[in-house]
Amino acid sequence: VASKKKTKSKESNFEIGLLDTDKGVVTRFPPEPSGYLHIGHAKAAMLNQYFAEHYKGKLIIRFDDTNPTKEKQEFQDSIVKDLELLGIKGDVITYTSDHFDALYEKAIDLIQLGKAYCDDTIQEQMRTERMNGVASARRERTVEENLRIFGEMAKSSEEGVKNCLRAKMSVDNPNKAMRDPVIYRCNPEKHHRTGDKYKIYPTYDFACPIVDSIEGVTHALRTIEYRDRNPQYWWFLEALGLRKVHVWDFSRLNFIKTVLSKRKLAWFVEQGLVTGWDDPRFPTVRGIRRRGLTIEALKQFILSQGPSKNVVNLDWTIIWAFNKKVIDPVAPRHTALLDQGLLTAKLIGGPDTPVTEDKPKHAKNPEVGQKKVVMGNTVLIEQADAKTFKEGEEITLMGWGNAFVTKIARPDAEGDVTELELTLHLEGDFKKTEKKVTWLAKDQNLVDVELVDFDYLITKDKIEDDEDIKDFINKSTMFTEKAIADCNIADVKEDDILQFERKGYYRCDQPAKDGKPAVFFCIPTGKVGK
Ligand code: ATP
Ligand code: MG
Ligand code: MG
């Protein structure tokens, strides 16, 4: 008798109500090594780990490698690394391919039970028959005939390759997943682990319940779109007399203007529309990290999602808002000014010989450390700020003090400021000024930087099944601005996250090196439109 336990965990919104948990919980995360992990996989992996930990059970990481056409060692290796990065530690790593012999035996068992048959109906016709609930002409082949042809399939003989093996479930069940699904097919390609040892491979639908059962999985967490396939999952276990597994559905993670299918992501890579699987515009674990998402924020976001089974199209602003809360208290503050129209202003009262002072990198958090601030009698100001100045006005040079605008020349009222003179007024109250501007003393080792921002790769919130992604490719998705930054930026390392004041948060993708500018990626903050 199943015992029902319900506990509400404090650290997340997940209401946990697993069955039979007193017998020990075993969950599994089964990625197919056909691409890099994306944020949806991260959710599935974290959920499985969360359940395993909560019930002091076990987590299996299983490579679901049943299709050599799509799978590669490169993908498998990257998944191992990314799981490590996410802090997902399986108790064991397994491979569906380790069970190929056992699965083959189970297929033979099904044939002998009269519950599977070989079918050489051409694909198109098979699809139509399934759609219309019509039986295949091969459905009543004898056990002997099926065993013989399945043997031919295993050899990939001329007769064998024309066939696939189907489970004899139903011809016209209203649930189309139950209409004699294909469970084995030939594939001549080399498998990345088993090489050319096998010429037939089980389908996911067949392998999954059997391997779950063999490996001792007690609770299979599956995304909600598999719900129609739950009855066939149980059918296989029952037909083969295998131990039952509980299925627990959770909602698939989707984001607006975002592709979360490995097949489609692979297409973007192949077309050269991105720089690779770790492109900062990609929803892969590597891509979002390059864009500046912290693992901590990712975890908080996923746990906040709760047990909802509704499939919704989330906005990225939600996740970036979590990230901002993580990075804001620790991101050092620096200054960068856009090259475009940069103005050199004379600063009366500024030291003739530049003075360098140590100042906190973060006003509210001394632990972030100190930076050098150079002060001199010539300062650089952004044109956009200078254009707002009026002669006689008192402004604040952030992190230094107030100054009066003592001279400003703007010959063309619509054009650039051509000359600017400021006079330092350190007694002035910065609380009373309206304009607080960023500035840099000219006389320091300024660092050339590139500030890069990105847009979504596609132009439509949700691409429907009957729509072609090619019609919704965003043509312009990367925007680079040249800027100069304070001397401390020379020491910034790859992956460092900082704030350029009045500009935003950035992650260093490439430090300054060999005369090339440092490259910084803008980190969205969760504000709409950013
Ligand atoms: P994709 O279409 O990206 O290849 P998949 O489900 O075919 O997705 P798998 O490698 O088989 O990819 O997925 C491993 C696990 O991750 C499965 O349990 C799957 O349900 C889960 N998963 C995949 N995409 C999402 C998503 N968007 N949200 C939540 N879980 C997901
Ligand atoms: Mg899959
Ligand atoms: Mg898929």
CA of 339 to the centre of ligand 1 (A): 44
Residue 308 is part of which domain span?
A: 262-327
CATH number assigned to the domain comprising residue 291: 1.10.1160.10
ipTM above 0.90, yes or no: yes
Mean pLDDT over the full length of the chain: 93
- Domains held by the chain: number: 3
Is 221 inside a domain boundary?
yes
Q: What is the pLDDT of residues 370-396, one digit of tens each?
A: 999 999 999 999 999 999 999 999 999
**pLDDT given at position 530:** 44
pTM for this model (two decimals): 0.89
CATH number assigned to the domain comprising residue 29: 3.40.50.620
Distance CA 193, CA 93 (A): 14
Residue 214 phi/psi, 5-degree rounding, is -60, -40
Task: Indicate the pLDDT class of residue 354, thresholds 50, 70 and 90.
Answer: very high
**227 in the same domain as 92:** yes
Is 529 inside a domain boundary?
no
Is the CB–ligand 1 distance for residue 260 below 6 Å? yes
Is the CB–ligand 1 distance for residue 398 below 6 Å? no
CA of 262 to the centre of ligand 3 (A): 6
**184 in the same domain as 86:** yes
Is the CB–ligand 1 distance for residue 44 below 6 Å? yes
**284 in the same domain as 179:** no
Active-site residue 359, yes or no?
no
Where do the H-state alpha helices sit in 161-258?
204-214, 230-239
CA angle 204, 207, 213 (to 5 degrees): 135
Is 88 inside a domain boundary?
yes
Active-site residue 229, yes or no?
no
Is 172 inside a domain boundary?
yes
Instruction: Check if the beta carbon of residue 480 is closer than 8 Å to that of residue 450.
Output: yes
Is 71 inside a domain boundary?
yes
Instruction: Check if the beta carbon of residue 248 is closer than 8 Å to that of residue 18.
Output: yes
**pLDDT given at position 16:** 54
Residue 112: how many other CB atoms lie within 10 Å: 12
CA of 39 to the centre of ligand 1 (A): 9
- Closest ligand 1 atom to residue 32 Cα is 10
Q: What is the pLDDT of residues 266-291, one digit of tens each?
A: 999 999 999 999 999 999 999 999 99
Q: Of 219, 250, 281, which residue constitutes the final position of a domain?
A: 250
**484 in the same domain as 358:** yes
Q: Of 250, 273, 304, which residue constitutes the final position of a domain?
A: 250
